[in-house]
Structure 1
Amino acid sequence: MHKVTYVVITTLLFAVGFSSASADQSEKLEFASALEETLGHFHALELNLDENNAVLAMVHATHPIAELYDLMRPTLQESDPELDAKIQTTLMELRANTVNATREDAQMALDDARMIIEEARILIVGQDLSNDPMFKLALMKTLLETSAAEYAEAVENGTINEMAEFQDGSAFVWRSQQIFEEIKGDLPEDASMEINDLYSTLWQAYDERADPSDVETLVGGLVAEIDEITGVESVMRGPETYFENIVSLLNQVKEQYANGMSEEALSLATKAYLDNYEFLEGPIAKHDTKLMEEIEVMLRQELRNMINEGVSSDKIDSHVDAIVEKLHEAAMLIGAEHEHKEQEYKEQEQQDMSPLQQVEFGIEPEDVVCDSGMELIIKTGNSSPACVKSETAERLIQLGWGTRPQ
């Protein structure tokens, strides 16, 4: 259900002023993203408690411990085993302390859980980086892109088919907007107004159960605004990238598990699902819903259960091989291999710069070059360039967000 992440970590780290993207810095961004999604689930849990919806409250109470904790656990254990145990206990007991408690006691439990999450943030990410507006913009971007994937899984033909995923999407939009409210005073006024307007339109789309493509368009507009502020162009992942990431992570699962590193293997398996497969569920389901669900069960449930149960390495290897075989079948269905070939044909040097960097280099906005699969539009109001997906450009133009260069 989550998920997501969403962009190339090293690119985002460059955006917050790092001269190089070390493994430690990458972990901080990944860790902070998991914390933000956890806070999103807390918000959804809170809303369902207010509505006396125990079933959905239970979903959001269990999601952080069932999935997100596995992403955070290796870093927590390495940094502070005592805090790791504290967070694990808090998340494990969240369901009992909220769903099965009075509303007042549930709120106290949620407030305590939020305090522990902030404690982890300060320990792992640090106060300075946590407060950096550029770092917060990167977190907003991750939450927004994940929200679009959740919405696409939840809504079809104006109807919510998966309420938990719909609430995930709206909770992540909410959390991203909370972060925006914290930093909007540090952003250019015109960009802040644009972002605020796009959020209003995005919430309207949620209220109207708009087509997922429209929600993706609005999220694309928000991401473009963030990119303009940070000066970093989005690295738009095609399906082939997610397939490649999953296979790479699963190979690492094999290696780590064979070496007795079961916790690391579990974290890698969780990343394969949350950070990658969730973004493939919609595209695969368009061709074969049964195959999509089969891979989801094999990857999200069965593999993680096998690791937790301590089965033999041979069984893990066989199961991973079976998942990879299914993934290959899915990749052929959605034509990821063809898309991968197209993605390889990119222009050099100028195309490696973001639109803002090209303008600063002396290139006129209408002459900015975008990556393959991206289209240049000129923002209405300040005439600055932005590169967006081709299918997104037309809808942004219809919304009055920008125009094509003359």
Structure 2
Amino acid sequence: MNFCKRTDLILVLITAVVTTSILGFALSNQVVAQINGTQQQNQMDYTGFHSNIEQIIAHLEKAEYNKFFNNNTLTLGHALHPIEEVLTLVTIPLSTADSNLNDTYFKDLYQLSALASPGNSTVDEFDNKSKSSIELSNEVVATVIPATVLSTTEHNVSVIKDLLTISGSEYKEGVAGGNIILELEYQDGSAFMDRAYTLFNNTQNISNDTQSVTKLLSDFSNLTDSVQSLKEPAVIDQIIQKMNIGLSPNDNSTTSDVSSSQTSQDYIDTIRGLLNEVITAYESNDKIKAKELTTIAYLDNFEYIEASIGKELSDRGEALLREKLREQIDGNASIDEIKQNIADINKVLDDSAGFLDSNPK
């Protein structure tokens, strides 16, 4: 994913559009979750929700880090990523649980992103605001996820595994040949790993086997060292898969196993299905759901094929799916405009499938 620098004016416009879209549509009382490419279910995906909030916290921590070192571009990048890519996925369950907190959370993250723009805050001001936003993020988790779920080892392990798997995907985008090629994605990967480690340390009784816990701690250390040494993504993936198995030794259906069994064509097929659902949701005037599905199509599917299809197709798909389609939904585009853009996205998917057939790995 390529980061484009935003101006304060754009931030204000985005805030207005999103706020209008949220207030303009009634939210369903039934929470429908579809995270990480899974099928829609009439139940809450607590793992996906918690993982998404942990990713937001990771971005905020990295924004703090970069602000301290006076890197305005990366500070703004990490402050904007939760808004651009994750916030849509948590809106429906949070609004269902507490609509006032949902509004507060949206406004808070937009305020932080405004402070991230060069010259809009001192290091101390930004640090205080980001810490406040992290506290609010933790409140969001506690509000949506029942304490009876949040306190279980099973739940926390599932979130740790999800964070590790996503971190590997981000790292793969950011590093190649022992060099950082996309700094923002590299930092995303390491930040998600840090959140997984924090959650691991905060989880009581993660295993009754002291030797297993010691081994997992050693694996976390190895993962951190390997990331800092810019080891090849394949090496990082192997470590993560090993850790996911170690976290659930009796469970053969780890998140990483599911992800690794998915082919590029599987992701392409999933994207096509999600785009059809976007049209259905938009025609039903459910713009929140349409935007959520768009985010899932990009974040949980297209990102997984970007490295395989080459820069030209990756850039085309990102511009149409991640940027244009979301902007059209926010801007109340006509259904014909939405359908035309989706047709253009499907053309990119056709070209991607052809490229993959001609360049098998």
TM-score scaled to structure 2, two decimals?
0.83
2:158 and 2:138 mapped to 1: Cα distance?
18
Q: How does 1:167-316 map to 2 (within 5 A)?
A: 167-183=187-203, 185-187=205-207, 188-228=209-249, 230=251, 232-233=253-254, 234-235=257-258, 236-285=261-310, 289-316=311-338
**In 2: Cα distance, 1:118 partner to 1:229 partner:** 30
- 1:246-270 Cα offsets, whole Å, 9 max, x none, are 1111111000101111111011101
1:21-44: CA deviation from partner (whole Å, max 9, x where unpaired): 952232x22221210110110121
The one of 322, 329, 345 equivalent to 1:323 is 345
The aligned amino acid for 1:113 is: S
Question: Deviation at 1:94?
Answer: 0.7
CA contact (8 A) 2:267 2:305 kept: yes
Percent identical pairs in the alignment equals 25
How many pairs are equivalent? Answer: 323
Could you list the per-position Cα deviations for residues 263-298 of structure 1 after superposition, in whole angstroms to 9, with x for gaps in the alignment?
11011101111111111111222xxx2011111111
Q: Highest CA radius of gyration, 1 or 2?
A: 1
The match for 1:49 is 67
Name the residue aligned to 2:21.
Answer: none
Identify which of 113, 121, 124 aligns with 1:95. Answer: 113
Alignment map for 1:19-30 (pairs within 5 Å): 23-26=42-45, 28-30=46-48
Distance 1:280 1:159 in 2: 20
Aligned-residue RMSD, C-alpha: 2.4
Distance in 2 between residues matched to 1:260 and 1:82, nearest whole Å: 23
| Structure 1 unmatched runs, 5+ | 11-20, 340-406
Mapped contact 2:60–2:78 kept (Cα < 8 A): yes
Q: Which moved more, 1:168-177 or 1:225-234?
A: 225-234
Cα offset, 1:230, TM superposition: 4.6
**1-side partners of 2:341 and 2:41: how far apart?**
32
Q: In structure 2, do the counterparts of structure 1 residues 121 and 208 end up closer, same or farther at CA, with 3 Å as the change threshold?
A: same
The C-alpha deviation readout for 1:296-342, integer Å capped at 9, x for no partner, is: 11110011011111111011011112211211221232249x99xxx
* Per-residue deviation, residues 52-87 of structure 1 (Å, max 9, x unmatched): 211111100111112211111122223322111101
Q: How far apart are the structure 2 equivalents of 1:323 and 1:60?
A: 27
Does the 8 Å CA contact 2:275/2:293 hold for their aligned counterparts? yes
Residue number in structure 2 paired with 1:18: none
* Structure 2 stretches lacking a partner, 5+ long: 3-33
SS at match of 1:186: coil
1:98, distance to aligned residue in structure 2 (A): 4.9
1:139 aligns with 2:159: yes
Cα distance, 1:159 vs structure 2? 1.0
Amino acid in structure 2 at the alignment position of 1:323 = I
Greater shift, 234-243 or 195-204, is seen at 234-243
Q: What residue is the counterpart of 1:383 in the other structure?
A: none
